[in-house]
Amino acid sequence: MNMDRSRLNVDPQTTASILVADDDPRLLKSLADLLEKQGYWVSPALGGKAACQALEQNRFDLAMLDLRMPDMDGFDVMAHAARVQPDCGIIVVSGESSFSAVSRALRRGAQDYIKKPFDPDELLATLEAMLGKRTLIRAHADVQRRLEKSEALHRYIVNSSPDIVFMLDNKGHFCFVNSKIESLLGYRPDDLNGEHFSIILDEQDVVRGTYALRDPSISADNPRTLEVSLKTRGSRKANRYFEVTAFPIDHETWPATAEPQDPKCTTKARFYGTARDVTERKEAEAFINFQAYHDLLTRLPNRALFKDRLNLAITQARRNDQKLAVMFLDLDRFKIINDTLGHAMGDRLLQAVTQRLENCLRKGDTLSRFGGDEFTLLLPAIASHDDARQIARKLIQALRKPFQLAEHEVFVGVSIGIALFPEAGNSLDQLIQNADIAMYHVKARGKDGYRFYSETMSIDSANRLSLERDLRRALDNDELRVFYQPQVCANSGQIVGLEALVRWQHPERGLLYPRDFLPLAEETRLIVDLSEQVLSKACQQVKRWIAQGHDNLRLAVNLSPIQVDHPRFVENLLQQLQSLNFPAGNLEIEITENVIMSDLEQISLKLRELAERGIRIAIDDFGTGYSSLNYLHRLPIHTLKVDQSFVKAIRNGDDGACIVNAIVAMAHGLKLDIVAEGVETDSQLAYLRGLGCHQVQGFFYGPAQPADAISRMLGLQQVSAAV
């Protein structure tokens, strides 16, 4: 937009012109008003496209841009400004403060970055500094054009340089240094003239800096450039990093300037050069390097840095004929805590665990976060198994004490696998893999302990790999079988539902039960394909029974957390039912409490969409989770399945059945159906019937059976009903 500067009562020749662009009208107006009150000529632009139009119509000294604008973001506006007004300065004023956004903005040409909401005084100070800097740059360029006319002007430019400018004699003593050194390092030029330049070098850079000036190859065409750390005056400020470039002086072509500049320096100048402050760049590089090799949550070395250190330790161990140990640590019960209390609490727990583990280590040990709740530990130069054993016991003991997370007191354990070099492997990958194998053997034997790797463990791992290979083939060769366990009305004894349970007819091992292969299927993510096959087979079979007159027969299927977490879970399930032409009202999906509490908001949306299509929702193993019961009011739940561990507690008296009593009473109050699992005796059935439990399933009515056996049971029911 065009604006009349005269109406603002400003001088267009001396007043800075500023473009302000934002998609928030109120913020745009307040920022424009603030700048106009300071006497600036302001052109407000509502959005990125308006800003580009203004850049094409008017010349601006400075543009203040928001990054997030719907029609055209700030990055595109900066690109347009670089084309049409490359000399226009850019300040970003945005609520986006991520490292990537800031870095990208600076790369695109922004000179400064102000975070919303901004402090007016800070904004004005930044603006004034930017305009002042731009003025200085323009003045500097102008002075350079007139440099040959005035030596006084030359000295002004040198002293006004953003870099330190210096001259040294052939022995390395200062002949001249500009005043910039005082603002950057705290030294006055008079204090340094006549002194050797090493007086301001950090001790570790003295030899390198001195050698650089003695190099005979240095010339005007081959100046010496190096990065060094310079000391600040006194000890209150940290050293700063500078990029120093030194040129030799040719006395034949530049005789006047080679004369001494200070009485303290009695010899002619031999070198001149500049020192540019690169501290911020070095700190940014250090931060990026830290990110590349460390876990930002725990501040521990990450997998890449751990492997680097392990490679070095293996090399030293070979050279010195020593042992070393690699430990693989996996937290016990972490997933339960993370699913129950949320990821924020899980992150706090990992940080607290890290602190305790670090307190157990020796100097020179390396603890790293390998991923998730897994850690690796390198113990270099150990004498025997006992050294590693003592550390492992110390780690286990340290984590047995409870952790306090807000108002929650939680307990975790740790399973530790240990691989010793060279017995358990000669390479980096072997040691890590074998420590991992040993850790899994600890998990299999009850967790919260440690084990050293042995060759027999590799046999078990080979079996595990073989089983995974066979399971993949089973999916292709149609080796999965679906068995059905009846869900029976507690009062009438009629079958009202069937829970589909998978079996694997292995060609060599015979019939395998879920406990033999489902954990592996979950770990390898084959559970998704497996579940889809089971659902397809079960729907086709139950649809036949429905067609035979069992219209209200319900099919119950268990769903994996991996399936439910998938972004297209609802869409995939509905598409599968549609392709099978299976009535949604005859399907009941069973999920656990922990699946629900992993992301209550998203799970709620998914389950509501399914419930609206007629699909029933059941909570499996109810009462064994660690979550709040508030979700029962928020979700479209139809059925609670009482876990069989509570049903087994039912004896002749009521003492062992108090949990069952509470669950049934709560379900009645919420008007939910109840299915009791694991019913095996007459007394259990009678007790549950007396409580008003709607349905039961268990060995009292027989184990899960193949489809032909269920067909006979349903046929007998039809005959009984007809009689």
Tell whether the model's pLDDT for residue 255 goes beyond 60: no
Query: Is 500 within 8 Å of 482 (Cβ atoms)?
Result: yes
Q: Which residue has the higher pLDDT, 205 or 27?
A: 27
Tell whether the model's pLDDT for residue 236 goes beyond 70: no
- In the prediction, which pLDDT does 571 show? 92
Tell whether the model's pLDDT for residue 110 goes beyond 60: yes
- In the prediction, which pLDDT does 254 show? 58
- In the prediction, which pLDDT does 645 show? 80
Least confident of 17-21, 114-118, 324-328: 114-118
Q: CA angle, 500 as apex, 497 and 505 as ends, to 5°?
A: 150
Mean pLDDT across 495-521: 89
* 447, two tokens: 């967790």
In angstroms, rounded to a whole number, what is the distance separating the alpha carbons of residues 628 and 476? 41
Q: Indicate the Cα dihedral angle 65, 70, 72, 75, nearest 10°.
A: 50
- In the prediction, which pLDDT does 276 show? 86
Tell whether the model's pLDDT for residue 513 goes beyond 80: yes
- In the prediction, which pLDDT does 518 show? 82
Q: Which residue has the higher pLDDT, 282 or 316?
A: 316
Mean pLDDT across 215-237: 76
* 232, two tokens: 């600040």
What digits encode the pLDDT tens for the residues 137-171?
A: 777 767 666 655 656 656 666 777 788 888 888 88
- In the prediction, which pLDDT does 651 show? 66
In angstroms, rounded to a whole number, what is the distance separating the alpha carbons of residues 370 and 352? 16
Tell whether the model's pLDDT for residue 676 goes beyond 50: yes
> According to the per-residue pLDDT averaged within each range, which of 128-137, 251-260, 280-289, 474-483 is highest?
474-483
In angstroms, rounded to a whole number, what is the distance separating the alpha carbons of residues 316 and 323? 10
Q: In the predicted model, what is the mean pLDDT of the chain?
A: 83
Q: How sure is the predictor about 535, in pLDDT bands with cuts at 50, 70 and 90?
A: very high
In angstroms, rounded to a whole number, what is the distance separating the alpha carbons of residues 604 and 570? 12
- In the prediction, which pLDDT does 394 show? 93
What digits encode the pLDDT tens for the residues 28-64?
A: 999 999 999 988 999 999 998 999 999 999 999 899 9
Q: How many CB atoms lie within 10 A of CB 323?
A: 18
Q: Where do the domains of the chain lie, and which CATH numbers do they carry?
A: 5-143 (3.40.50.2300), 148-283 (3.30.450.20), 296-453 (3.30.70.270), 467-713 (3.20.20.450)
- In the prediction, which pLDDT does 156 show? 67
Q: Which residue has the higher pLDDT, 418 or 334?
A: 418
What digits encode the pLDDT tens for the residues 67-103?
A: 888 889 889 999 999 999 988 889 998 888 787 888 8
Angstrom CA distances, 422 to 142, 366, 425, 426, 439, stand at 70, 19, 5, 5, 18
The sign of the dihedral angle between the CA atoms of 348, 349, 351, 352 is positive
Tell whether the model's pLDDT for residue 172 goes beyond 90: no
What digits encode the pLDDT tens for the residues 469-504?
A: 899 999 999 999 999 999 999 988 899 999 999 999
* 721, two tokens: 């009903």
Q: How sure is the predictor about 720, in pLDDT bands with cuts at 50, 70 and 90?
A: very low
Tell whether the model's pLDDT for residue 11 goes beyond 60: no
Predicted structure pTM score: 0.45
In angstroms, rounded to a whole number, what is the distance separating the alpha carbons of residues 485 and 556? 10
Q: How sure is the predictor about 263, in pLDDT bands with cuts at 50, 70 and 90?
A: low
- pLDDT > 70: what percent of the chain? 87
Tell whether the model's pLDDT for residue 265 goes beyond 80: no
In angstroms, rounded to a whole number, what is the distance separating the alpha carbons of residues 294 and 316? 23
Q: Which residue has the higher pLDDT, 646 or 329?
A: 329
**Residue 130 parent element (H or E):** helix 120-145
- In the prediction, which pLDDT does 460 show? 59
Least confident of 32-46, 535-549, 591-605, 705-719: 591-605
DSSP class per residue in 41-65:
EEEEEESHHHHHHHHHHS--SEEEE
Instruction: Name every residue whose Cβ is closer than 8 Å to that of residue 692 and which is 6 or more positions away in sequence.
Output: 664, 668, 674
Tell whether the model's pLDDT for residue 250 goes beyond 80: no
Q: In 3D, which of 557, 515, 493, 545 has the Cα closest to residue 697?
A: 493
Tell whether the model's pLDDT for residue 547 goes beyond 80: yes
